[in-house]
Amino acid sequence: MSIVFLLIAGFAGALMAVQGCLNSYLGEKLGLIPAAFSVQLLGTLTVGGLLLLSRQGGSLLGTVGKIPYYYWLGGPIGVAIIYGVAAAISRIGAGNATTGIIFFQLLTAYLIDHFGLFNQEAVPLTAGKIIGILLMVGGAFLLLRR
């Protein structure tokens, strides 16, 4: 495993916690739907600018029709994530919301790996991983106690 990519993933995780707090504030001030729209619009403009700068637009247009429809659900799922995180953080706090996010994100990721879903290489769920998940459940319980 490359430490560089583990650090990149860790940085993305840290940004997710920051983004959740920012989105929660926007949700309180604008409403959750307008906040999600604003965040998605700014994200679209940002990645659109990057797409233009990278000059990869032509390859995008050439392959759009060849991709199965369910791979395009990332956009709507992103809206649900923004909405859900903003709603949860404003009600239960950043730490509690992130505990739930991380737990269910890891559980889902291990199921995707185990069954090889979404064109991912199948990676078996081992006894060690199951013990790790059970330890996470215990850790999440301790983190969520008042």
Residue 77 is predicted with a pLDDT of 93
The answer to the question of residue 87 being in a domain is yes
Reading the block at residue 129, the tokens are: 């991983």
Encode 109-138 in three state secondary structure.
Answer: HHHHHHHCHHHCCCCCCCHHHHHHHHHHHH
| Whether 64 and 105 share a structural domain | no
pLDDT tens column, 103-132: 899 889 999 999 999 999 999 999 999 999
| Longest CA pairwise span in the chain (Å) | 54
Per-residue model confidence as pLDDT tens digits over 66-104: 888 888 898 999 999 999 999 999 999 998 898 889 889
Pair 22, 78 in one domain: yes
Q: Is residue 112 part of a domain?
A: yes
Domain that residue 141 falls in: 94-146
Domains contained in the chain, number? 2
Average pLDDT, the chain: 89
What b-and-e string marks burial along 102-115, b requiring 16 or more CB atoms within 10 Å of the CB? bbeeeeeebeebee
pLDDT of 15 > 80? The answer is yes
Contact call for residues 20 and 98 (beta carbons, < 8 A):
yes
Residue carrying structure tokens 């979404």: 118
pLDDT grade for 57, boundaries at 50, 70 and 90: low
